[in-house]
Structure 1
Amino acid sequence: MRLLALKIDVDTYRGTRVGIPALVEALKRHGANATFLWSLGPDHTGRAIKRVFRPGFMKKVSRTSVVEHYGFKTLMYGTLLPGPDIGKRCAGIMRDVAAAGFENGIHTWDHIRWQDGVANADAAWTQAEMKVAFERFQSIFGEPARTHGAAGWQMNEHAYRFEQKLGMRYASDVRGTHPFWPVVKGELVRVPQLPSTLPTLDELIGVDGLTPDNVHEHILRLTAEETPYGHVYTLHAELEGMKLLPVFERLLEGWKAQGYQLVSTAELCDSIDLARLPYHHVEMAEIEGRSGVLAVQGAVFP
């Protein structure tokens, strides 16, 4: 059976309020499952302005209209406007998603703070950020989180280890080709990684003639051939949940036509014989279409 897991990253207050209800309805229409990964603390999207100095950032922004997808008000949060507390204001939406039968997990506490700070953070900073998100998740859903998907695919050695301490069943923090056991600085972390295996819409649109009208065709070509472990596709509430929802629906139709069962990452994990997974180093490297470096599946260990 062909499996394709849908992992939905929720980055912002607007994405939670507007994008999530639209995505839930679309998934129901197409008989698809998914995993929702939540930003649980303040929306400080406006502080991303610091990335203007990051190599490749302006090139990416020039291809995708940030204002159009995120909204002007969102781009002021954390600078000219106070950042709304997503978990407090949107707990009802989150519980509705759980009540609809979808899996839920942790994306982050403060998306911008994590994405811009975790790479060089120490153990105390990392654990504090993860712990407050874990506690907020439990207060909203009444149960502990069992999965984590890092904001911007940004991680450090302490974060992998703390996932194990928190009792995560699996995680999807990296980009790669297939599930694996992560090895961090020579140490095996007993939380398997289910990496995102496909490029995201914001990485593709505006490159090599790809537009919102034809980008789905490119992604469907990437999934045409069956793989032993299926695929993990990461989408965003702010993109596929709003202006790019028609693109996502074309993808859902295309994947169903290719014979895929559209599942949560938990269901994909259930289908895997974890004892037979390979061990791989985790590394930080560049990915085409994104600025800076992010966590990727590295070489086989040892």
Structure 2
Amino acid sequence: MRLIALKIDVDTYRGTREGVPQLVNMLLQHQAGATFLFSLGPDHTGRAVRRALRPGFMKKVSRTSVLEHYGLKTLLYGTLLPGPHIGRKCAPIMRDVAAAGFETGIHTYDHVKWQDNVASQTPAWTQAEMGKAYQQYVAVFGHPPSTHCAAGWQMNDSAYLQEQTWGMQYCSDARGTHPFIPVLANGATSCVQLPTTLPTLDEIIGTDGIDTHNVAQAILDMTASENEYGHVYTLHAELEGQKLAPVFDELLSGWKQQGYQLVSLADYYAALDIAQLPKQRVIQGEIPGRSGTLALQA
């Protein structure tokens, strides 16, 4: 299948203000579809410093120049500086994305709070956090979201069930190789998962001789051969929407030359034969280039 779904995670206030408009312009120039996933509550990026104790976290930070990509101010939000409320301050930008014809959805409410806690949290905590994101999304767009794509690929079974309760047909909360129907610990299933299948830029820059000059070609090499389900690529407004925009432009051109259609998650889902998708568990595991564990297709 010659489809690549572009899933855009918007993690921060700066990424929303500066990265999102640039990405919209690039995608329109390339006539590419995409799904923008918004963080809808306060930007508390500075609190991510607690991850410094995780194995591999500081190594990743040194490889990917976090200060350069996120900016000092963002790295102080939630600690020395109050975190701006993204959903309230950036609602016009978010609505402009929808008006330009792009699918939008929920990434999270408080990105750091979700990413650092949800894997071990209770159903009540999970439902409360997801509820705040849902309410803010409706306040911004005036209608319910079509999809949810978890911050940091961090989930628990209550979150999958909440997506089902919301009536979502597809979400993208895990890493994997192809679309599947998740089977939870109690045997229940949730809506179709469209897992991220390709590495992100921050996972491979600085490894195996890969830098900003050849990282696009490294990813294009991974998509050179057609496979049954195509791919889901996750990009970040803070990276591809700012300093790494030239890399993303190279990727868009390269994928078109390879014969791919660049689509939203909605269009990618619509092309699937749902009856043929496997039912599989979601496990916690590690992937190269990213610290800590995350949701993986078993």
TM-score bin, normalised by smaller chain: over 0.9
Query: How far did residue 166 of structure 1 move?
Result: 1.4
Q: Distance in 1 between the 2:101 and 2:178 partners?
A: 26
RMSD between superposed Cα atoms in Å = 0.7
Partner of 2:97: 97
Partner of 1:115: 115
Question: Deviations 1:246-292 (Å, cap 9, x if unpaired)?
Answer: 00000000000000000001100000011111001000100100000
Q: Distance in 2 between the 1:273 and 1:217 partners?
A: 31
Q: Distance in 1 between the 2:49 and 2:100 partners?
A: 36
Query: How far did residue 188 of structure 1 move?
Result: 3.0
Alignment of 1:176-195 (within 5 A): 176-195=176-195
Alignment of 1:1-302 (within 5 A): 2-298=2-298
Which runs of 5 or more structure 1 residues have no equivalent in the other structure? none
Asked whether the equivalents of residues 33 and 264 of structure 2 are also in contact (C-alpha less than 8 Å), the reply is yes
Which runs of 5 or more structure 2 residues have no equivalent in the other structure? none
SS of the residue corresponding to residue 87 of structure 1 reads helix
Q: Distance in 2 between the 1:207 and 1:55 partners?
A: 17
Query: How far did residue 189 of structure 1 move?
Result: 2.1
Q: Distance in 2 between the 1:222 and 1:186 partners?
A: 36
Asked whether the equivalents of residues 283 and 297 of structure 1 are also in contact (C-alpha less than 8 Å), the reply is yes
Query: How far did residue 169 of structure 1 move?
Result: 1.8
Question: Deviations 1:90-148 (Å, cap 9, x if unpaired)?
Answer: 00000000000000000000000000010110000000000110111111111101101
Query: How far did residue 167 of structure 1 move?
Result: 1.4
Asked whether the equivalents of residues 20 and 241 of structure 1 are also in contact (C-alpha less than 8 Å), the reply is yes
Query: How far did residue 157 of structure 1 move?
Result: 1.1
Q: Distance in 1 between the 2:251 and 2:282 partners?
A: 29
Q: Number of matched residues?
A: 298
Asked whether the equivalents of residues 181 and 188 of structure 1 are also in contact (C-alpha less than 8 Å), the reply is no
Query: How far did residue 186 of structure 1 move?
Result: 4.2
SS of the residue corresponding to residue 7 of structure 1 reads strand
SS of the residue corresponding to residue 259 of structure 1 reads coil
SS of the residue corresponding to residue 234 of structure 1 reads strand
> If the length of structure 1 is used for normalisation, what is the TM-score?
0.98
Question: Deviations 1:33-55 (Å, cap 9, x if unpaired)?
Answer: 10000000000000000000011
Asked whether the equivalents of residues 183 and 190 of structure 2 are also in contact (C-alpha less than 8 Å), the reply is no
Letter in 1 for 2:271: S
Question: Deviations 1:181-203 (Å, cap 9, x if unpaired)?
Answer: 00111423230000000000000
Q: Distance in 2 between the 1:107 and 1:294 partners?
A: 15
Asked whether the equivalents of residues 51 and 57 of structure 1 are also in contact (C-alpha less than 8 Å), the reply is yes
Choose 102-111 or 158-167, whichever is displaced more: 158-167
Q: Distance in 2 between the 1:241 and 1:190 partners?
A: 32
Q: Distance in 2 between the 1:139 and 1:192 partners?
A: 26
Asked whether the equivalents of residues 179 and 229 of structure 1 are also in contact (C-alpha less than 8 Å), the reply is yes
Q: Distance in 1 between the 2:32 and 2:124 partners?
A: 39
Asked whether the equivalents of residues 160 and 190 of structure 2 are also in contact (C-alpha less than 8 Å), the reply is no
Letter in 2 for 1:192: V
Q: Distance in 1 between the 2:188 and 2:278 partners?
A: 11
Q: What is the percentage of aligned positions where both structures have the same residue? A: 65
SS of the residue corresponding to residue 188 of structure 1 reads coil
Question: Deviations 1:182-232 (Å, cap 9, x if unpaired)?
Answer: 011142323000000000000000001101000011100100111111100
> If the length of structure 2 is used for normalisation, what is the TM-score?
0.99
Once superposed, which parts of structure 1, at least 4 consecutive aligned residues long, lie more than 4 Å away?
none
Letter in 2 for 1:136: Q
Letter in 2 for 1:200: T
